[in-house]
Copies of this chain bind each other. A is one copy, B any other.
Amino acid sequence: VRTLKLTLAYDGTAFAGWQMQAGQRTVQGVLEEALASFATDRIVAHAAGRTDAGVHAAGQVVSFALEHAISCDALLRALNVRLPPDVRVLQAEDAAPGFHARFHARRKTYHYCINNAAVALPQTRHFAWHVRQALDVHAMSAAAAIIIGEHDFAAFQATGGDVITSRREIFTSEFCGDPPHLTYQVTGNGFLRHMVRNLVGTLVDIGRGRYEVDHMRHVLQSRDRSRASATAPPHGLTLFSVDY
């Protein structure tokens, strides 16, 4: 049995997220369907990040077991012929036996795009959150830097998360881009459910002037979900890359 590692990009607009759900179009569903001709039993694909409905990927990583002698290049081409155009396999390679895309991930990077213009640009409407009010990018950048390091991110975790610990380490957390296009880039050793979107919700409220920069520290230290702002919408978020 070989262990395969795929790198995927997808436009999450027309998907009900990564994870297979009966009667829903999911990335896992279309990928496993494309893989079906390479095995008699179901091939179960594990993703580094189980992205929610509407969330995109530029470098999602997927692992699965394969009992087939096809070359990685031929597999990549065959999958891209079978997959719909909103999902592409960017890379296919053999991984060490037992490699697991989620359990072995060391760092993940997410990008969150904001279109901060008076009127939403149609071209980015599925890929950026349109925030009409002028944002103070200096304040947002200062607040973003506060979360760098190891912290308990319970305040930014979706209710109903089932993880053992809510401590995570953040390596970079910053805003890039030229107004009106802003991108929040965050790299960490792991992320809780909705964590990036909850961080962005609070950072944007700071950018709008609803709170001071130090509010970020207070919310973080409170470990209280009710102190953070509303979750930013899914369509601004992209799983950018995963390191092993």
Majority secondary structure of chain A interface residues (helix, strand, loop or mixed): mixed
Minimum CB–CB distance from A18 to chain B (whole Å) comes to: 14
Contact of A10 (CB < 8 Å), options: B56, B87, B122, B238: B122
Q: How far is the CB of A73 from chain B (nearest CB, A)?
A: 11
Let me know if A204 is at the binding interface, CB within 8 A.
no
CA distance A117 to B90 in the complex (A): 9
Distance of A87 Cα from B121 Cα, bound (Å): 8
A125 touches B11 (CB 8 A): yes
A122 B80 Cβ-Cβ under 8 A: no
Q: Which residue of B has the minimal Cβ distance to A120?
A: B88
Q: Mark A131-156, 1 if CB is under 8 A from B, else 0.
A: 00000000000000000000000000
Chain B nearest CB, measured from A39 CB (Å): 23
A119–B58 CB distance below 8 A? no
Contacting pair A125 B56 (CB below 8 A): no
Chain A to chain B contacts (Cβ below 8 Å), 5 pairs: A11-B123, A85-B125, A88-B122, A90-B118, A123-B127
19 further A-B contacts with Cβ under 8 Å, apart from A58-B121, A88-B120, are: A9-B119, A9-B121, A9-B122, A9-B123, A10-B122, A11-B122, A11-B123, A11-B125, A76-B119, A85-B120, A85-B122, A85-B125, A86-B122, A86-B125, A88-B119, A88-B122, A90-B117, A90-B119, A123-B238
Q: Which 5 A-B pairs have the closest CB atoms?
A: A11-B122, A86-B122, A88-B119, A90-B119, A11-B123
